[in-house]
Structures are given as C-alpha cells and as structure tokens.
Amino acid sequence: MEFTWLGTAGFIVKDKQGEIAFDPFLSRGRGEPAPFTAEKSFANTQAIFVGHGHFDHTFDIPEIVKNSDTQVFAPGLTGQILKWRGVPAAKLCDASNRELLFKPFKMRAFKSSHVRFDLPLVLSTIKQCSFKDCIHICGLGLGYPKGLVQTYYFEAGGKKFLFMSSAGASRHELEMYRGLEVDYLLAPLQGHSRIQEIAAKQTEIIRPKVVIPHHWDDFYPPLTQNVSVEIFRDKLNHVGFKGDVLEMPLFSSAQI
Ligand SMILES: [Zn+2]
C-alpha cells in the first residue's frame, strides 16, 4: 500500500481495496507550493475523512469535490460549513462515531479533542505576523471553526492505522487506542510550543509499532513554522518509546 503525505495533516492512502484521503490542504499561502492539485490529484479518491473544521484541514475540499467523485466524511458543524462552501449534500456524510464509515477500510471515527494553543505559541506567532496577517488569520479562524474533532481508525494491507488530526486526546481516550493495538500512528506535531513532548507522551501511551509524525511543516507562514522532528525523536526516547519513527519528507510517498 502507498501513503502520500500532502503536507499539513493531509494524506492519500492507496491500496488494493481503494483510495482514501485525510484532511487535504494544498493552498499553503506563502508556504512551499504543493505538487498536488485539487483538479488532478484526487481523481481516484473514493472518500475524504475530515478530522476537524480548521482551515488547514478543510479549505480545499470544495474545490477537490468539484473535480472528483469522492464522498466527504465530516463531523457535525464542519459538514454544515462544507455544504455552505459548496460541497453538494449528496457528497457529504456525517462522520459518526457509531458505525463503520467506509467498509473497504473498516473505517471508524472516535470523538477526540483539539490541542490547546498555549500562550508562548500564540505570542511567538503574533511576533512573526504583520497587522494585516493578524486580520487575515482572525478571518480564517472565524470562517473555519474547529467543530467536533475526530480521530480515525482504519485497516489496510493487513495493518491497523490511527490518524489523529490534533493532539488533544484525553488519557482515557489514549488508553482506549492502545487497546486497538495499532501498527501505525499518524501523529500531528502542531498547535503547542511543547508539542513534541505532548505527542511523544501520547505515542508512548498508544504504543504503535511505528509513529509517522505529520503537520510539522511550515504550511502557512507566517502563521506557522517548521516543528523539529529531531526533538520529537528525543522526547520519544525520553518517554521510553520502543517503536520506530517513519519520518516522511514533505510531499513524499512511502510503501508500507
Ligand atoms: Zn486545528
């Protein structure tokens, strides 16, 4: 099976049983341009799963849907907002926690939480931004509310995967994920000045065989900066994580 990291929290997963995507964000503002397009890169995608409503997880979905037959699974309010932004109701499905969402991948959603932006991160972001940038970012924040946050579990190629769109899971939730015995955890490194430490502790509780860090790229400067994966590795060692780290270069694919 093939995993492609689109940058931010975006992935395309291709396997014998089909093709799915998570949180595709291609626009990237002043960030390094993505080699993927809404017009062409999702021609074979059957389903897109949305973790939460923030702009860096949903902004490009209406344009992708115009050019593809894909269904979009989004939780609650985020689905409503995508409809207002032009995704036809017939292509939208509620990403409910109660049922199998997409049988070929045995996809399930779990109610999760967003990591809390902390003051040092907010202050360092404001320091990098001009007044105009701040107004623009406030507009994105108001236009793309977080809504419900979902984590997705799926199976492909005989392996078990867990995709997290933000690192706000409770201890109870993390222990439940450990019970799923996942092979690969897709862990987001974004949203807190100590995100590597937070994500490393979460990884150690879930105990996947392999962790794939994502969302660490500088996807929307000056709002964002690169987050060090090296520090994440150090923190994983510190908490005693025994699994592997699969560090995917930006916009790359990996055979799993
Ligand atoms: Zn977010």
User: pLDDT tens, 117-151?
Assistant: 888 888 888 888 788 888 888 888 889 999 999 99
Which of 17, 25, 20 minimizes the C-alpha distance to 3? 20
37-70 residue pLDDT tens: 999 999 999 999 999 999 999 999 999 999 999 9
The answer to whether the CB of 196 falls within 8 A of the CB of 189 is yes
Mean pLDDT on 212-224: 94
Rounded CA separation 212/183 (Å): 11
pLDDT at 135: 86
Q: Report the percent of the chain where pLDDT is more than 90.
A: 86
Compute the distance from residue 146 Cα to the ligand 1 centre, in Å: 6
Measured in Å, residue 28 CA sits from the centre of ligand 1 at 15
pLDDT of residue 178: 98
**Could you give the count of Cα atoms lying within 13 Å of 36 in the half-sphere of its Cβ?**
25
**Cα 54 to averaged position of ligand 1 atoms, centre (Å):** 5
Compute the mean pLDDT over every residue in the chain, rounded to the nearest whole number. 95
For residue 228, the CA-to-ligand 1 centroid distance in Å is: 19
**Do the beta carbons of residue 3 and residue 248 sit within 8 Å?**
yes
Q: Would the pTM of this model clear 0.85, i.e. be above it?
A: yes
Q: How far is CA 146 from the centre of its chain?
A: 13
| pLDDT of amino acid 117 | 87
Token pair of 15 as six digits: 């396997």
Residue 227's alpha-carbon distances to 52, 121, 142, 159, in angstroms, are: 21, 12, 25, 28
Give residue 110 CA to ligand 1 midpoint distance, Å.
16
**Model pLDDT, residue 3:** 96
**Residue 141 structure tokens:** 């924040």
Give the pLDDT confidence score for residue 127 in this predicted structure. Answer: 82
Calculate the dihedral angle through the C-alpha atoms of 134, 138, 140, 146, rounding to the nearest 10 degrees.
130
Q: Does domain 2-255 have CATH number 3.50.50.60?
A: no
The pLDDT of residue 133 is 81
Residue 252 CA, ligand 1 centroid: distance in Å: 22
169 phi/psi in degrees, rounded to 5:
-65, 145
Percentage of the chain beyond pLDDT 70 is: 100
pLDDT at 245 over 80: yes
Cα-Cα-Cα-Cα dihedral sign, residues 77, 152, 253, 237: positive
Residue 16 CA, ligand 1 centroid: distance in Å? 31
| Residue 121 Cα to ligand 1 middle (Å) | 14
Distance 238 CA to ligand 1 centre (A): 27
Gap from CA of 52 to ligand 1 centroid (Å): 7
Q: What is the pLDDT of residue 134?
A: 80
C-beta contacts of 249-252 below 8 A and 24+ residues apart: 250/5, 250/7, 250/32, 250/217, 251/4, 251/5, 251/6, 251/7, 251/34, 251/35, 251/36, 252/4, 252/5
Give me the residue spans of the domains in the chain. Answer: 2-255
| Strand 149-156 to 108-112 pairing | antiparallel
Of 135 and 86, the structure prediction assigns the larger pLDDT to: 86
Start-to-end Cα distance in the chain: 5
Q: How many angstroms separate the alpha carbon of residue 24 from the centre of ligand 1?
A: 13
